[in-house]
Structure 1
Amino acid sequence: MTGLPSIRSIRREAWPLTDRMALERALTPDDDGSGECGQAAHIRPATLESYMQTYGQWLDFLARTEALDEAEGPGERVTPARVAAWRREGKLRGLAPTSRRQRLANLGAILRLLVPDRNWSFVIRPGNRSLKRAIRGGPKPFIVRDVAEVLVHVQKLHRQGLAAADGPERWRALRDAALLALWLTRAPRVGSLVPMTMDRHIALGPDGIWTLRFPGEHTKNGRMLDYPLDAERSTMLTDYLEHARARFPKAGATGLLWMGMKGPMTREGFQQIAKRRTLAWFGKANGPHAFRKWFRATAARRSPELAMDAADIMGHTAEVSVQDYSEASGLHAALRHGDHLAERRARHAGRAERAFAAERARWEEGDQ
């Protein structure tokens, strides 16, 4: 729509040398207490990965605008004028205000790690205003869909993949069906899916049921998640592995689980799958995070207790779990009260109708 190239993130190993050295310094433990390194020691791996992804997008912007000078250090190349141009490009692309604010917050966060002795307030407080005031946005409409509703489309996609002739369309359909079914029933984060491997993160039981294993470094709360799929989702994953994965180009050169036409799937690739399929099914593109919301909302509607289990699977804290439980309990209490009122109205309405019919009969008898 904007005519701009798609957003790309330069990987850490391709950063300029000065930036890589600054990051290594931030990651090196501060053993001597000098304070010259170790600024990233307290950052969770998933959070740091998010910061690096944004910084890779920033470097790509500089490269595309011919402003990336590898002789400069990160503190020199980040100027108010360049950051303002990056903000304007984000708006021109049509990025949501929340996305534009998050990009600036992430950029400011990683700059504090790379160049801790400089004030980066012009990044996170443009015009000396908070990001919410500087980049305003109204409430974003969002439709919460029931998992069962979306699964109908996923099941149809799976059947279409099995029926299709061998080729890229069949491979993509089987891959997307397995992936989307996994999102709907276990709601893993994209950051957990990217590094999944054949030998470490999935295991097939003798009953044909697959177990997913996410180590702590790949989960939101740093705790290992280990859970089985059900029979239908296991079948979808098996069909992807047996009929699609090995046929993707470069599949034989890696042990990573999720493959695309250009090699292992990236964060951007997962985003595109979710948006492409939901746009075709519902007329509105939703990213992977929407599946996590649908998963949690559906669990809460099924039973308040399931809200606790869903929050635990999604890696939320105990506080968030209690909040989800409370909201679900309140919702169910309101629904039960509404059902009770409806029953009482129906019951009293029936009595009133019978009384009115009897009175009308008496009136008709009197007229006669």
Structure 2
Amino acid sequence: MSAVAERLSLPRAEWPPPDQAALDLAVAPDDDLLGDGGSAAELRPDTLVALIQGYGQWLAFLLRIEELDPNEQPGDRPTMARLAAFRRDNKARGLEPTTRRQMLIHLRAMLRHLVPGRDWGFITRPNGVPLKRAIPGRPREFRIRDVSEVLRLVRKLHRDALIGADGPERRRDLRDAALIGMLLTRAPRVGSIVHMDMTWHILPGEGGSWSVRFPPQHTKNHHSLSYPLDGEVSAMLNDYLVEARSSFPSAGRSDHLWMGMKGPLTKQGLQRIMRRRTSEWFGEAHGPHICRKWLRAAAARVSPELAIDTAVVMGHTVQTALDAYTEASGLHAALRYGDQTEERRAQIGSRRERLVRDRVDRWLER
């Protein structure tokens, strides 16, 4: 395979001059507050990095098919024929449907900044078809884990770390217990967790308790979010802060709450932690987002109304919270019916046992 064929995303420094110039304008800050800054200037750093990488994938594709004209304007590149070839190429490379859809979404989003004022909606509606219909997903097996079951494993991880010998493994175990405990009981998003620092995001309370708060720029829906941590998780967080965090490399040079062995914990690092722990515990790896599903399912088992509260704590929109309520109502009804069925079976079983016992007693009395 040639070096050109291996390029999956073209770095920004290697973009054609028209594309680089358009991006420079898009990210230009509004220093004089006259409203002439670029539309991408206010994007979160992580979002901008994702869009640049996604647009680099588009340019790398054009380079592979030898249609990357260095003098062509960014707005002239996405023709219907090229976009169709881009979709076919991504499918031929074996990319998951979700990844293929996300690449088109990122391309559309970046073009809105590079070439503002034009309608780029056709990129995510090929031939007028919604993207999820044009690139349907594959059915995936999903097993609901009882949150209390997972928490028992987290407690054991925490207890074993407290009595273990000091060293990197103990520090990681204390961190992972506090981190996964927070994910299981409050389910913050990955993008919110990696931004947490020691001064703003956590607040000490009475009796060793802790509260967490996220500003709008650190939530997906751009709404501030705050809540107290569970008492047990507060204790785990306190043990991590007192006995582990300061011993991580770079901890003294960073204000980030969650530390890794090479510096502040990243999204990729958090993914690896969760996948490694769930693989050890259940024989199947899950990313941190699974905790949001498990927590919502646990709430639905208790009450549909609790599913709405859980959705709000997770930072979902009102519509998503209502969808969670509808879903939970059906699940709760099914669970309630199942419980009633089991209770009925138990009652029938008890009557049969009494009938048999009465028959035996009568036989013995003869």
TM-score using structure 1 length: 0.75
Partner of 1:329: 329
Shift of 1:106: 2.0
- Which residue identity does 1:22 align to in structure 2? L
Structure 1 residues 152 and 358: CA distance shift in structure 2, 3 A: closer
Q: Is the contact between residue 90 and residue 100 of structure 2 (CA under 8 Å) also seen in structure 1? A: no
Deviation for aligned residue 1:200? 0.7
The answer to whether residue 25 in structure 2 is matched with residue 22 in structure 1 is yes
Distance 1:176 1:147 in 2: 16
Q: Given the alignment of the two structures, is residue 218 of structure 1 paired with residue 223 of structure 2, yes or no?
A: no
Q: Match for 1:56: what amino acid? A: Q
> Counterpart amino acid of 1:172?
R
Q: Say whether 1:307 aligns with 2:312.
A: no
The answer for the alignment partner of 1:177 in structure 2 is 177
Distance 1:162 1:76, change over 3 A: farther
User: Could you tell me which residue of structure 1 aligns to residue 168 of structure 2?
Assistant: 168
Contact 2:51/2:107 (<8 A) preserved? yes
Give yes or no for the alignment of 1:55 onto 2:58: no
Change (3 A) 1:338 1:84: same
For each residue in 1:219-266, what CA deviation from the matched residue of structure 2 results, as whole angstroms up to 9, or x when unmatched? 233332222212221121122212222222222112111111221122
3-state SS of paired residue (1:153):
helix
Letter of the 2:52 counterpart: Y
Structure 2 residue identity aligned to 1:53: A
Equivalent position of 2:239 in the other structure:
239
Where 1:199 maps in the other structure, the secondary structure is coil
SS at structure 2 position matched to 1:198:
coil
Structure 2 residue 285 is the aligned partner of structure 1 residue 285 = yes
8 Å Cα contact 2:213-2:225 kept in structure 1: yes
Give 1:246-257 correspondences, 5 Å limit.
246-257=246-257
Residue 149 of structure 2 is matched in structure 1 by 149
Q: CA–CA distance in 1 between the matches of 2:201 and 2:304?
A: 30
Determine the C-alpha separation between the residues in 2 that align with 1:339 and 1:193.
38
Give the Cα separation in 1 of the matches to 2:216 and 2:183.
19
- Distance in structure 2 (CA, Å) of the matches to 1:158 and 1:266: 22
Q: 1:301: how far off?
A: 1.1
Name 2:259's counterpart in structure 1: 259
Q: Kindly tell me: are residues 356 and 57 of structure 1, through their superposed partners in 2, closer, same or farther at Cα, counting changes over 3 Å?
A: same
The one-letter code of the counterpart of 1:55 is I
Amino acid at match of 2:100: R
How far apart are the structure 1 equivalents of 2:63 and 2:156?
46
Provide the secondary structure at the position in 2 that maps to 1:288: coil
Is the Cα contact below 8 Å between 2:197 and 2:255 reproduced in 1? yes
- Hey, what's the Cα distance between the residues in 1 that align with 2:316 and 2:119? 32
Report the AA paired with residue 254 of structure 1: S
Aligned sequence identity (%):
49
**Separation (CA, whole Å) in 1 of partners of 2:250 and 2:135:** 42
**Secondary structure of the corresponding residue to residue 207 of structure 1:** helix
Alignment deviations for residues 148-179 of structure 1 (CA, whole Å, 9 cap, x no partner): 11112222222333334333222222211111
Identify if the C-alpha distance between structure 1 residues 199 and 304 changes in structure 2 by more than 3 Å, giving closer, same or farther.
same
CA distance in 1, matches of 2:181, 2:360: 59
Question: What is the 5 A alignment of 1:1-368?
Answer: 18=21, 20-25=23-28, 39=39, 49-50=46-47, 52-56=49-53, 59=56, 88=89, 92=93, 95-116=95-116, 124=124, 131-132=131-132, 135-348=135-348, 351=351
Contiguous gaps of at least 5 residues in structure 2: 1-5, 14-18
> 2 CA distance for matches of 1:298 and 1:9?
44
Instruction: Check 1:141–1:341 CA distance in 2 against 1; reply closer, same or farther (3 A cut).
Output: closer
Partner-residue secondary structure (3-state), 2:309: helix
Relative to structure 1, the CA distance from residue 20 to residue 255 in structure 2 (aligned partners, 3 Å threshold; closer, same or farther) is farther
Q: 1:244 to 1:58 in 2, by over 3 A?
A: farther
1:256 aligned counterpart, secondary structure = coil
**Contact 1:51–1:109 (CA under 8 A) maintained in structure 2:** no
> Which consecutive residues of structure 1, in runs of 5 or more, have no partner in the other structure?
none
1:98, CA displacement in angstroms?
A: 1.3
Question: How much does 1:81 deviate?
Answer: 7.0
Q: Give the Cα separation in 2 of the matches to 1:228 and 1:162.
A: 24
Query: After alignment, is 181-190 or 273-282 more displaced?
Result: 273-282
| 1:241 counterpart letter in structure 2 | L
Q: For residues 29 and 227 of structure 1, do their structure 2 counterparts lie closer, same or farther at Cα, with a shift above 3 Å needed?
A: farther
- Once the two structures are TM-superposed, the CA of residue 104 in structure 1 deviates from its matched residue by 2.5
CA–CA distance in structure 2, aligned partners of residues 272 and 288 of structure 1: 9
**Aligned-residue RMSD, C-alpha:** 4.4
For 1:69 and 1:155, the matched residues in 2 are separated by 58
